[in-house]
Structure 1
Amino acid sequence: MLVDIIKCCHKYHELNAEVGLPERIIMYRDGVGEGQLKQVFDIELKTLSEGLAKLYQDVGRGPPNLTYIVVTKQINTKLMMMKMNLQNPPPGTVVDDVVTLPERHDFYLISCTARQGTVSPCSYNVLRDDSNFDADKLQLITYKLCHMYFNWSGTIAVPAPCQYAHKLAFLTGMNYGGHANANLSNLLHFL
């Protein structure tokens, strides 16, 4: 993962030479089980932070402000609106108090409408936030990213970068048998 992030930073620098490397990086990490959070925090996040610090140090800059959020889609939590005859909450509903853990910076977000049955929110756990975003701003960014998926005109359950990662991983694993052609790196060829 670190190698890919560094490649992305180099490409950003190449395309935005007057700006240089990004000042702020927001990462959404999917596919982490509840029991793996400590490992992700202790190993993955530490390795990523050290790698980015070295990259930025090599160009004479301090490390970027890193925001690292773990997304969990497969949860058993259901949210209902009590005052509305137990209806599903509307898209954009955020719950970040009472049912969340007090020792964490986490929230639930309902980003799309359930066509049938009870809507399932996604859980977001902010493991690191060097940018010091206030909770409302981070939740709004997350919700808006659920509108940015090119293959769908409405909202999707997870932020678009997570959905793109799922699609790319599936296509690569099923068809390429290895890495994709480097000429495809800047294209959404996997959609």
Structure 2
Amino acid sequence: MKWDGHTHTPYCYHGSGIAQEEYLERAIKLGFERYTLSEHAPLPLNWLDDPSLYKRLAMPYSELSLYIEHAKRYKQNYIGKIDVTVGLELDYLPGKLDFTEKIIYDFGQELEDIIYSVHYIPGSNGMRLIDYQPDYFRENILKYYGTMERVVDEYFNYIEEAIRWISQFSIGNELDILI
């Protein structure tokens, strides 16, 4: 199956701003059969110490239900053209797993796909983005661990923890979880 499993929407504050229809029409033209709308889930308050970065990474919790309705509307509008699935990209948030649990329990029944990601590992002065900008990485992660090998080891430790944690969930619907 030709499937785009991770795409953004207008609820992404670091995306392109291109209309959702343009993405879907392009996917159809390229022969995709399935297209998952999988926006970044909200983050807990004060997860990051940079408020401007925080705002660019994820929608506010208050917009999550609006996003779900947006995705469901496109799913309905494209029936017979392409299988649009309602998804969400959740982050592994050690120390704030209750926040992620709340999202799963509040919205899991409406989701068809979850992308479960590791974007954060411990670094200088708390949790730091692993995939932001080179200078940020060097200063907040590489300097903290000392070598790239240690960074990679820690990242894969977090991947393994994330897999163990998300594997415990069964929310009653057929749900694809991609890690």
TM score, norm. by length of structure 1? 0.35
TM score, norm. by length of structure 2? 0.37
Q: Larger Rg: 1 or 2?
A: 1
